[in-house]
Amino acid sequence: GQNIDQPTEMTATEGAIVQINCTYQTSGFNGLFWYQQHAGEAPTFLSYNVLDGLEEKGRFSSFLSRSKGYSYLLLKELQMKDSASYLCAVEDSNYQLIWGAGTKLIIKP
């Protein structure tokens, strides 16, 4: 079967750093995406990893280890506007996205 696991909810403090983990077991792998979704809104693209290693994009970074079936999203200098759900999605052998249930991130002042 195909499975994407993420923590359901995390809490962090404004200005701090938070790491959101994602582990996966899928039929094939063609890349891993992270999306951000604010409550009541559509998901928006954050990052894409297909090779092992760290991809940095401003305050957000995403890491991938294909051998471990593991990725994380690192958010630095947290701001209140970062309060949202973060969705991990793996592109399988058919180039279809398999989505995790998302991690709700709560930022406290």
Q: Given the rule CB under 8 A, which residues bind other proteins?
A: 4, 30-31, 33, 41-45, 48, 50, 87, 89, 91, 95-102
Q: Min. distance of Cβ 56 from other proteins in angstroms?
A: 18
Q: How many CB atoms lie within 10 A of CB 51?
A: 8
Residue number with CB closer to other proteins (5 or 83): 5
Q: How far is CA 49 from CA 20, 66, 86, 106, in A?
A: 15, 10, 15, 25
Residue number with CB closer to other proteins (74 or 97): 97
Q: Min. distance of Cβ 15 from other proteins in angstroms?
A: 29
Rg (CA), the chain: 13
